[in-house]
Amino acid sequence: MTHVIDQISELLIQLQSPDFYERESAVRELGEYGRDEAVAGLVIAMEDPDLGIRELAADLLTKIGGEVTSQLLISFLAHDDIATRNLAAEILVRIGADSVPSLIAGLDNDDHDVRKFIVDVLGLIKDDQAVPAICERLKDDNINIVCSAAEALGEIGSPDAVEHLIETIRQTADARLQAVEALGKIGDPTTLPELEAMLETNDPMILYAAIEAIGHIGQKESVERLSGLLDHADNTIAEAALMATINISIANNGRIGCDLPLDKFTDFLFEGIRNKNDRITRFTLDRLSHWYGSNVIESLLDVLEHVDENDLDRITRVLGEFGGSVSHLIVKKIAQATTPVKLTLLEIIKEFIDDDIAGELLPMAGDADPDVRRKLAHILGMSGSPKVVPALKELATDKNGHVRSAAYGALGWLCSVEEIDFLFEGLNDKYSDVREAAMGALIFVGGPEVVRRFNDDLYNDDVERQRLAATALGMIGDADVVPPLLSAINHPEPSIRKSAINALAKIREVENTSPLILALSDENSSVRKAAATALVTINGEEAVSEIRLLLHDDDIWVRYHAINLIGDAGSKEHADEIMSCLDSDQDIVKIAAARALSKLGYRDAIPAIDSLRGDKNQDIVEAAEQAISVLQEVK
């Protein structure tokens, strides 16, 4: 024991060293002891000239806590140095409930400053056990302590203090403000009569505090009483009454059962939204659907930049509900808005775009931001107005590819046959997105002239133009495109032949299938497979007699494809030929044949399939077993 005391004594001496590191080391070591003597040393270290050491000591004292620490720290609340005093108070708050008994005991201190600090600290600790002692301080001789005690009771929020605070309101004029505020924070509805009586006062500070307190308590019965103050001559009081009403409204999920003269408070409410006041924002947006007036719309448009994504969605919906009647206000706002707001407003206006609004939006084609020009192109296209065509053609030559792409798409929606030459120009754009958009527009326009031009393009020197033409003809998909697509089956380029065949398969209404039958002998295996698929799609089971020759194709994948097609077509007529595939030297062909025969329900194949069960390839064995299991169920 003596040895420990000696060591602590040495550390206490070390705390006086001019060397920072020695002092810091002493503080750390003292922190490890946690004994009363060490605590005294740490408290001394709170006065160290170095901030780092002071903070280290504070952390260690907080960790140690306890009665001795608290008592020592309370003695520092009378310290001459304000920084040391504040540090002691801060540590006491951090220690929390453990320091409360010592703090309560200190409330009898002769020094009124110490008593005031203790009350303040107790208010910050917010522990109910301090309430009776603090209530006693409401009768302190020193008015500063009475005020602090009222504030502390408000912070703690215990209803046990209510009676004492009401007494203070009645008896101590100089602490009335703090006592009213405290009642508001405690939020006990039984105090409302007292607080509502305060609404008669001539003292604007007390009146303001009483209004605020009533709002905090949040009883909807108070709204009527507050509504009388909404037209108060002093704007601050009127706005406080509205804010209190807002708090009550939020506490009651918006159900306050009365109309409010909100037009008078438009500036206040929208300023609140701009300042990101969540309560004002929520209340205001909740009221929007039944609060009309152009000043409201203009104010709404002004706060778009200040709200979060959810609120922006709500405002967008509300503006959408107002419909075309607000479109001119929106157009006016767009001109001075930031890019994100412009994009939002364009999104809103999209819902009710018409000829007139489209005309008003045309100047935006010169906007500096490509995202805005791109969105504008879409919206102009949606207007269906022929007068936007020149602007869209201008945007289709924009320096930005995304804008050009959007403009071509929009020109397509307008279905302008007069612009076919211009749209075909877009097929030469350096960007594939733009070329495809021009193609999409031409698909939309359709008609004999477009088909004729795409037919010519099938034989254009540019392979890309050939590809686009084959795709476009397939998607135009009416009777006019069938002859050019049938001719394209003889195209020198295999990918075009395949695209043409795939397109015919989609169209289906093809009377002359001879070119497709010929394509079964195409030199390119992908073309042969596409032709087989197309024939089955167009002619169904009848096509099987044509595609069966592919069961002997040189290409294993063509054989595989043909077997699957015949199985899917359900034609038993050629089941024997598929059975011969069970003897193929290619495993994948055997598997496809077993599956196809089971789909056809061809029970005669069971013995042949059964022989595959002894195959060394497990996949074949599984396919055979599954096929037999299916066939055994067939009657």
Partner 1 sequence: MEITIREEQGISILSLSGRLDLASGATLKDEIKGLLDKERKLLHLNLAQVEFINSSGLGVLVSIMKEVRLCKGRLTLSDLASYVQEIFEITQLSHIFEIFASEKEVMDSYQSETVS
Closer to partner 1 by Cβ: residue 265 or 444: 444
Q: Which of 55, 259, 478, 573 binds partner 1 (CB under 8 A)?
A: 478
* Measured distance CA(437)–CA(419) in Å, rounded: 14
The C-alpha angle with vertex 320 and arms to 316 and 321, in degrees rounded to 5, equals 120
* Measured distance CA(82)–CA(87) in Å, rounded: 8
**Should residue 35 be labelled a site residue for partner 1 when binding is judged by CB under 8 A?**
no
Q: Which of 31, 41, 184, 412 binds partner 1 (CB under 8 A)?
A: 412
**What part of residues 208-267 is at the interface with partner 1 (CB under 8 A)?**
none
**Should residue 439 be labelled a site residue for partner 1 when binding is judged by CB under 8 A?**
yes
Please answer whether residues 226 and 240 qualify as being in contact, where contact means their C-beta atoms are separated by less than 8 angstroms. Answer: no
Please answer whether residues 76 and 88 qualify as being in contact, where contact means their C-beta atoms are separated by less than 8 angstroms. Answer: yes
Secondary structure letter of residue 296 according to DSSP:
H
Closer to partner 1 by Cβ: residue 304 or 382: 382
**Should residue 393 be labelled a site residue for partner 1 when binding is judged by CB under 8 A?**
no
Q: Which of 101, 157, 359, 384 binds partner 1 (CB under 8 A)?
A: 384
Q: Could you tell me how many residues make up the chain?
A: 635
Q: How far is the CB of 271 from partner 1 (least distance, A)?
A: 25
Closer to partner 1 by Cβ: residue 195 or 439: 439
**Should residue 538 be labelled a site residue for partner 1 when binding is judged by CB under 8 A?**
no
Q: Which of 21, 94, 86 is nearest to 60 (CA)?
A: 94
Q: Which of 212, 98, 115 is nearest to 154 (CA)?
A: 212
Closer to partner 1 by Cβ: residue 56 or 441: 441
**Should residue 475 be labelled a site residue for partner 1 when binding is judged by CB under 8 A?**
yes
Please answer whether residues 216 and 247 qualify as being in contact, where contact means their C-beta atoms are separated by less than 8 angstroms. Answer: yes
**Should residue 420 be labelled a site residue for partner 1 when binding is judged by CB under 8 A?**
no
Q: Which stretch binds partner 1 (CB under 8 A): 364-372, 438-446, 550-558, 562-570?
A: 438-446
Closer to partner 1 by Cβ: residue 406 or 489: 406
Closer to partner 1 by Cβ: residue 317 or 599: 317
| Structure-token match 């720290």, residue found | 73
**Which residue intervals of 337-400 are DSSP H helices?**
339-349, 355-361, 370-383, 389-395
Six token digits for residue 289: 């659907």
Query: Strand, coil or helix: what is 26?
Result: helix
Q: Which of 123, 184, 440, 567 binds partner 1 (CB under 8 A)?
A: 440
**Should residue 552 be labelled a site residue for partner 1 when binding is judged by CB under 8 A?**
no
Closer to partner 1 by Cβ: residue 384 or 601: 384
**Which residue intervals of 458-574 are DSSP H helices?**
463-476, 482-487, 494-507, 514-519, 525-539, 544-547, 556-569
**Should residue 441 be labelled a site residue for partner 1 when binding is judged by CB under 8 A?**
yes
Please answer whether residues 357 and 331 qualify as being in contact, where contact means their C-beta atoms are separated by less than 8 angstroms. Answer: yes
Closer to partner 1 by Cβ: residue 188 or 347: 347
Distances (CA, A) of 89 to 38, 68, 71: 20, 15, 12
The C-alpha angle with vertex 266 and arms to 260 and 267, in degrees rounded to 5, equals 140
**Should residue 477 be labelled a site residue for partner 1 when binding is judged by CB under 8 A?**
yes
Q: Which stretch binds partner 1 (CB under 8 A): 195-203, 249-257, 500-508, 599-607?
A: 500-508
**Should residue 417 be labelled a site residue for partner 1 when binding is judged by CB under 8 A?**
no
**Should residue 317 be labelled a site residue for partner 1 when binding is judged by CB under 8 A?**
yes
Closer to partner 1 by Cβ: residue 323 or 363: 323
Please answer whether residues 173 and 143 qualify as being in contact, where contact means their C-beta atoms are separated by less than 8 angstroms. Answer: no
- Judged by the rule CB under 8 A, the positions of this chain that interact with partner 1 are 313-314, 317, 323, 351-352, 378, 381-382, 384, 405-406, 409-410, 412-413, 415, 436-437, 439-441, 443-446, 471, 475-478, 506-508
